[in-house]
Structure 1
Amino acid sequence: MSSTNENAVKPFKIFVGYDTREDIAFQVCRHSLLKKSSIPLEIIPIKQSELRENGLYWREKDRYESTEFSFSRFLTPRLANFEGWAMFVDCDFLYLADIKELSDLIDDKYAIMCVQHDYAPKETTKMDGAVQTLYPRKNWSSMVLYNCGHPKNRDLTADTVNSQTGAFLHRFQWLQDDEIGSIPFVWNFLEGHNKVVESDPSTFPKAVHYTRGGPWFEAWKNCEFADLWLNERDEYLNEAKKAITN
């Protein structure tokens, strides 16, 4: 007779890019994921300092890196022990829908799945003054479902992530095009780029990506969907305060 623990559903692993300048963004992203989810989640911040301590990341900082997880994100399959499916997402996301809806789209024939944006930003800077770079498949790597056990993803070793070019990694050049599955854009809805069509409910975001900079930065406090993020932040802070006082 099997135990309850053996029959328990394994939590879906979500690795969130963590930047020391954006702790509140990570906390709000995490809060929105957990609040909406009908499935168990394990949310793990990808912290560069910890990866360096553990000998998994030794890459020197690149002048085009806008976040501390620009390259460490590609360690996701390695951090998931090359088993099952896991997700990577930037910290500047706000989830408005149940992540189960996204996990239901998983197709084992793919090595990864992502929103395949055609995105050319007009701004030259983003966030707190970081350089806004333009490259093919921009923002594809900002939210990725990884089939961690896929043979091709076993190539994403620590050595590969620390030595390969940004182009190789962000354009998924270890894969063939037909190994990359597509996800509806509403799961990586780019604030300032994607648009809601009022007459079409399928265009309303399920996850807002404040890719230019979110309302936790002074310069972006009035961006589109800022009110949704600020409301979520206030709810998170109130719950955190109650947890301390109790």
Structure 2
Amino acid sequence: MRRLLVAANWKMNGNKESNAALLKAFKEGFDGSADTAIFPPALYVPQLSEELADSAIAYGVQNAYFEEKGAFTGELSLSMAKEFGCEYILVGHSERRELFGETDEIVAKKVEAILAAGLIPMLCIGEKLEEREAGTTEKVCETQVKAVLDKVGIAAFEKIVIAYEPVWAIGTGKTATPEQAQDVHAFIRQILAAEDAEVAAKTRILYGGSVKAASAEALFGQPDIDGGLVGGASLIADEFVAICNATKG
């Protein structure tokens, strides 16, 4: 059975004082029923490496480049992330795709590099509002998944976490119903199963559209939803702890 995973994407938020308060609350509040990962702004990774040293909570960066070193101002390499104890790398987030022009090809190259570095890619996919209204949700998700499949092969998905994030539900307060989310998660798993049913059954697929404590249990209770990638609610200690402790069942 796939173990629940809940990840916090702090985006461009936080400071040393507020981070410390959140981490203290997380360590004290988690009941251990789910795996947990935190993606802070990269400057705060050293803080997490110190404060989570005695914790089972994993962490990573929100973005990294696929080249090892060189004249890439503003980027950071996977070896740099690894040196500070990062386990996960967020890749393909809708904001990276939309605001910073990351294409499916770039995302696939990043996933390949993350795997080669021995780290875990958390691959974000999902449709915009106009794509959902046009009935192309499945086509968009399939295109984004297959770009990575074609690059790294199905076996690599045993080491990849997928986060389905309907873009129309991020930061809007809107959330797909558990049934809507389940339908897309099941479809994503079918894409993988067409290549290898065993790998598909092992791959964790998280929901990433404005998860709240009030909706977490119903979402996580769906057969193909294996946790959540949480944005704004991960900056509120009690809210995120409640989400992490909302087990399937």
Structure having the higher helix fraction is 2
Normalising by structure 2, report the TM-score.
0.30
Whichever of the two has the greater Rg, that structure is 1
TM-score w.r.t. the length of structure 1 is 0.30
